[in-house]
């Protein structure tokens, strides 16, 4: 600010000095006879000031050009304004300068016209002749008075005659002298005058030569008088010569006329002498003044252009700052005109935008906090949540929904329900039910639905709610009750097993004993043919009783609490050992291993896992009885899901697969595809998987065959028992409590 103020003050002082020098130069050019010696000095001072001003203008124009090349804000407008102002000032100034030079040259030439010179000469001659005639008239009048003085003798008479002569001729003083200059008598208009104006010796010498003297003498700066001295000739030969002097003031008009004519004549002669230098000096002075005026105009144009473009440049910078998101930008208000009002309006706008942005930020922050809160709540809900807009487009889903359904619907986000159904056909029944409920405009609804996918059969309870407000939309909440229903079924089957064990097993022993007693009592009494019949009948009854005992024992075992001892298990080695027991040289079944070599140790009950593998391999071998090229594939894999690390065991075959009508009930007791079997094998496998904190599912392969997958956590959670030395007892009652 100090540097800018100092620079502006220096330029203002320079401009004032230059204007003063121009004024002095113009005055010197007009009065060359008075200030001619200062003209050269003033001319040098003016040229120096013009050079300095031109250097400043050049520096400013170069600076503006560099800003223009750099595409600085406001430089284009400043250059356009500067060019416009220079044209507006330069063109009229050039025209005025051209015609001024022409008029000046012709005017100076017209000053020295022959007629002007002749008129000045005639005026000078006329004035001189007029004065000569006037002097001659006065000389004649004084000469007539001298004759009268000659004829007078007495002093009183002489004085009287001098008074009469003075009054008659309008003289200011009339005096009579001897030839030596002694006063004889005088008469003066001034009564207080004691001594007359005595002529000098040259005048008296001329009188002694008997010649009259007439001269125009100045009295003051504006008044002149005629001094007339004539000889007074004596009437007698012996008397001395005397001189009569008369002083007559000229009228003011004669004095001024004479002075002006003489001055004009002198000045004209001087101008004729300095005609060429005068024309050159005047044109040079005009050129210097014009150039200085042009440079001053250019400087004023630069200053005005910057002042005019400064608010616009500030506004451009402010708008650019606003465009980049700086809403705290405030521009300086340097005037109260329209630009000042515009800058004030801009500042008001940015201030209000900043306040609105702060409010929006606060609202956004609050919205984000609410959103984070809502997402946290939704993420930790045990229910899956899907949201749809008013046009039935899928918007969001929580983590539980992805976990339950096993997908994130990445391809279906922001797409209609119909498109989601086509992208994910295995969930067609779910989205069809949702779409149907939404199209009906139901405010609230609830339906159960069963899904079949990679995780097997899933039973969901789906609830929907219509959202209020202009945006509207729908929220769908669903829970996976598969485990709950299965736990209830397992509890029910356990209860059935206990009742069967109680109600059926007790009568079997008396039946078996009764059969043995009948055989022993009647075996020796019957004929051979009847004995054979009795033997066959009692043996059949004993076998069926034994079969019923085995079945009751199996149900009893299914109903008994499971006892597990957990310890680190190398699952791959366990798989190889169990599979080796099922290999036979004469068997056409091919067992293929696809094992994860980086599989970590599993915390599990190895005996129970052996039982699981045996059951699965036996079921797979039974399913491959009619297959041309039977094949069993056993694979292991380490996976990481949202709830931690898991180990997945899969047993797949290329047989006919599981019929669809029993796929939903495959892991329930008494469900079997084999003619001989209790239907408890897969149910026991499922219980063992669940006791390890895992889950079990089955599916038919696309290229034929069935696939059963068991997934258990690598490290069992506390509620699933983490102590390998702790015995685990769980049965239907425990499952019932969990359900």
Per-residue pLDDT band for 455 (boundaries 50, 70, 90) equals low
Q: Which residue has the higher pLDDT, 228 or 414?
A: 228
As a whole number, mean pLDDT of residues 276-286 equals: 65
Q: What is the pLDDT of residue 71?
A: 72
Most confident of 135-144, 218-227, 718-727: 135-144
Q: Which residue has the higher pLDDT, 627 or 307?
A: 627
Which of 201-210, 287-296, 553-562 is predicted with the least confidence, judged by mean pLDDT? Answer: 553-562
As a whole number, mean pLDDT of residues 123-139 equals: 74
**Gyration radius (Cα) of the chain, Å:** 70
As a whole number, mean pLDDT of residues 433-438 equals: 83
Q: What are residue 109's phi and psi, to 5 degrees?
A: -65, -35
Burial readout 224-239 (b: 16 or more C-beta within 10 A, e: otherwise): bbbbbbbbbeeeeeee
Q: For residue 365, count other CB atoms closer than 10 A to its CB.
A: 10
Pick the CATH number of 381-480 from 3.40.50.10330, 3.30.450.20, 1.10.940.10, 3.40.50.280: 3.30.450.20
Q: What is the pLDDT of residue 726?
A: 41
CA proximity to 420, closest of 408, 405, 431, 429 = 431
Q: What is the pLDDT of residue 670?
A: 66
As a whole number, mean pLDDT of residues 46-66 equals: 79
As a whole number, mean pLDDT of residues 440-458 equals: 76
Same CATH topology for 136-270 and 381-480: the answer is: yes
Q: What is the pLDDT of residue 738?
A: 25
Q: What percent of the chain has pLDDT over 90?
A: 4
CA proximity to 500, closest of 560, 562, 555 = 555
Q: Which residue has the higher pLDDT, 265 or 727?
A: 265
**pLDDT, tens digit, for every residue of 344-396?**
887 888 888 888 888 888 888 888 888 788 777 777 777 888 888 888 888 88
**Domain boundaries defined on the chain:** 2-111+274-310, 136-270, 325-380, 381-480, 487-558, 563-738
Tell me the three state secondary structure of residue 91: helix
Q: What is the pLDDT of residue 573?
A: 92
| Stated length of the chain | 739
Q: Which residue has the higher pLDDT, 48 or 705?
A: 705
Q: How far is the C-alpha of 570 from the C-alpha of 581, rounded, in Å?
A: 17
Whether pLDDT at 167 is above 50 = yes
Q: What is the pLDDT of residue 734?
A: 31
Whether pLDDT at 731 is above 80 = no
Q: What is the pLDDT of residue 34?
A: 43
Q: What is the pLDDT of residue 279?
A: 64
DSSP code per residue over 348-369: HHHHHHHHHHHHHHHHHHHHHH
Q: What is the pLDDT of residue 345?
A: 83
Which of 268-277, 551-560, 600-609 is predicted with the least confidence, judged by mean pLDDT? Answer: 268-277
Per-residue pLDDT band for 633 (boundaries 50, 70, 90) equals very high
Q: What is the pLDDT of residue 635?
A: 93
Q: How far is the C-alpha of 518 from the C-alpha of 520, rounded, in Å?
A: 6
As a whole number, mean pLDDT of residues 498-512 equals: 73
Q: Which residue has the higher pLDDT, 388 or 192?
A: 388
Whether pLDDT at 261 is above 60 = yes
Whether pLDDT at 688 is above 80 = yes
Mean pLDDT of the chain: 75
**pLDDT, tens digit, for every residue of 407-428?**
777 766 777 877 777 777 777 8
Q: Which residue has the tokens 């130069």?
A: 25
Measured torsion, CA atoms of residues 680, 683, 689, 692, in degrees rounded to the nearest 10: -80
Whether pLDDT at 130 is above 70 = yes
Whether pLDDT at 237 is above 60 = yes
Q: Which residue has the higher pLDDT, 649 or 457?
A: 649
136-270 — its CATH code? Answer: 3.30.450.20
**Which uninterrupted H or E stretch holds 433?**
helix 428-439
Q: How far is the C-alpha of 227 from the C-alpha of 609, rounded, in Å?
A: 164
Q: Which residue has the higher pLDDT, 33 or 284?
A: 284
Q: What is the pLDDT of residue 637?
A: 92
Per-residue pLDDT band for 733 (boundaries 50, 70, 90) equals very low
Per-residue pLDDT band for 27 (boundaries 50, 70, 90) equals low
End-to-end CA distance of the chain: 82
As a whole number, mean pLDDT of residues 62-81 equals: 75
Q: What is the pLDDT of residue 109?
A: 61
Q: What is the pLDDT of residue 594?
A: 92
- 3-class SS string, 463-501: EEEECCCCCCCEEEEEEECHHHHHHHHHHHHHHHHHHHH
Whether pLDDT at 55 is above 60 = yes
Per-residue pLDDT band for 515 (boundaries 50, 70, 90) equals confident
Q: What percent of the chain has pLDDT over 70?
A: 75
Q: What is the pLDDT of residue 204?
A: 82
Per-residue pLDDT band for 649 (boundaries 50, 70, 90) equals very high
Strands 590-594 and 631-641: parallel
Whether pLDDT at 519 is above 80 = no
CA proximity to 633, closest of 709, 712, 689 = 709
Q: What is the pLDDT of residue 557?
A: 64
Domain 563-738 architecture: 2-Layer Sandwich (3.30)
């Amino acid at each position: 600010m100090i540097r800018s103020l100092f620079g502006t003050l220096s330029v203002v002082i320079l401009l004032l000095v230059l204007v003063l020098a121009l004024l002095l130069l113009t005055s010197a050019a007009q009065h060359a006879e008075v200030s001619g010696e200062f003209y050269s000095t003033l001319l040098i001072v003016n040229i120096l000031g013009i050079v300095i001003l031109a250097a400043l203008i050049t520096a400013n124009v170069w600076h503006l050009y560099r800003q223009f090349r750099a595409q600085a804000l406001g430089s284009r407008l400043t250059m356009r304004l500067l060019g416009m102002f220079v044209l507006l000032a330069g063109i009229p100034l050039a025209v005025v300068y051209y015609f001024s030079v022409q008029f000046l040259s012709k005017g100076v030439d017209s000053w020295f016209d022959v007629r002007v010179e002749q008129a000045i000469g005639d005026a000078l001659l006329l004035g001189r002749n007029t004065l000569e005639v006037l002097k001659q008239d006065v000389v004649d009048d004084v000469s007539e008075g001298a004759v009268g003085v000659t004829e007078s003798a007495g002093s009183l008479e002489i004085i009287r005659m001098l008074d009469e002569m003075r009054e008659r001729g309008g003289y200011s003083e009339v005096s009579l002298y001897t030839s030596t200059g002694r006063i004889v008598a005088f008469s003066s208009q001034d009564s207080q005058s004691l001594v007359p104006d005595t002529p000098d010796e040259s005048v008296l010498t001329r009188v002694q030569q008997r010649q009259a003297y007439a001269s125009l003498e100045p009295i003051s700066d504006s008044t002149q008088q005629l001094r007339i001295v004539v000889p007074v000739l004596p009437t007698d030969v012996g008397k001395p010569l005397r001189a009569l002097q008369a002083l007559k003031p000229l009228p003011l008009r004669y004095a001024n006329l004479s002075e002006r004519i003489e001055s004009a004549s002198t000045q004209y002669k001087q101008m004729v002498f300095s005609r060429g230098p005068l024309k050159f000096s005047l044109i040079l002075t005009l050129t210097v003044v014009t150039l200085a005026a042009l440079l001053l105009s250019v400087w004023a144009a630069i200053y005005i252009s910057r002042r005019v473009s400064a608010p616009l440049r500030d506004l451009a910078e402010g708008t650019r700052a606003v465009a980049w998101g700086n809403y705290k930008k405030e521009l300086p208000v340097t005037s109260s005109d329209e630009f000042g009002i515009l800058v004030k309006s801009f500042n008001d706008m940015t201030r209000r935008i900043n306040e609105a942005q702060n409010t929006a930020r606060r609202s956004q922050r609050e919205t984000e906090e609410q959103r984070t809160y809502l997402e946290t709540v939704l993420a930790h809900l045990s229910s899956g949540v899907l949201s749809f807009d008013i046009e039935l487009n899928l918007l969001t889903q929580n983590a539980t929904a992805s976990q339950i359904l096993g997908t994130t619907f990445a391809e279906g986000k922001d797409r209609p329900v119909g498109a989601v159904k086509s992208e994910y056909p295995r969930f067609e029944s779910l989205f069809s039910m949702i779409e149907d409920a939404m199209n009906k405009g139901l405010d609230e609804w609830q339906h159960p639905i069963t899904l079949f996918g990679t995780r097997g059969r899933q039973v969901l309870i789906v609830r929907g709610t219509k959202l209020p407000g202009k945006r509207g939309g729908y929220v769908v909440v669903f829970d996976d009750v598969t485990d709950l229903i299965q736990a209830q079924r397992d509890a029910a089957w356990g209860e059935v097993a206990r009742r069967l064990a109680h109600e059926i097993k007790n009568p079997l022993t008396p039946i078996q004993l009764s059969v043995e007693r009948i055989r022993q009592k009647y075996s020796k009494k019957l004929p051979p043919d009847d004995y054979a019949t009795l033997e066959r009948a009692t043996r059949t009854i004993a076998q069926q009783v034994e079969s019923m005992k085995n079945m009751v024992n199996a149900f009893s075992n299914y109903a008994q609490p499971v006892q597990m001892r957990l310890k680190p298990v190398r699952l791959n080695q366990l798989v190889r050992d169990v599979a080796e027991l099922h290999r036979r040289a004469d068997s056409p079944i091919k067992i293929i291993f696809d094992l994860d070599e980086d599989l970590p140790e599993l915390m599990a009950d190895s005996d129970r896992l052996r039982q699981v593998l045996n059951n699965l391999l036996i079921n797979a071998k039974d399913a491959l009885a009619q297959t041309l090229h039977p094949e069993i594939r056993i694979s292991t894999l380490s996976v990481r899901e949202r709830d931690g690390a898991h180990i997945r065991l899969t047993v797949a075959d290329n047989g006919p697969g599981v019929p669809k009508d029993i796929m939903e009930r495959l892991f329930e007791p008494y469900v079997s595809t084999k003619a001989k079997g209790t239907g408890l094998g897969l149910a026991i496998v499922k219980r063992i998987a669940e006791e390890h904190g895992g889950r079990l599912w089955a599916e038919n392969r696309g290229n034929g065959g069935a696939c059963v997958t068991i997934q258990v956590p690598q490290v069992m959670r506390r509620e699933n028992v983490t102590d390998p030395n702790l015995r685990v007892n769980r049965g239907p009652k425990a499952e019932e409590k969990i359900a």
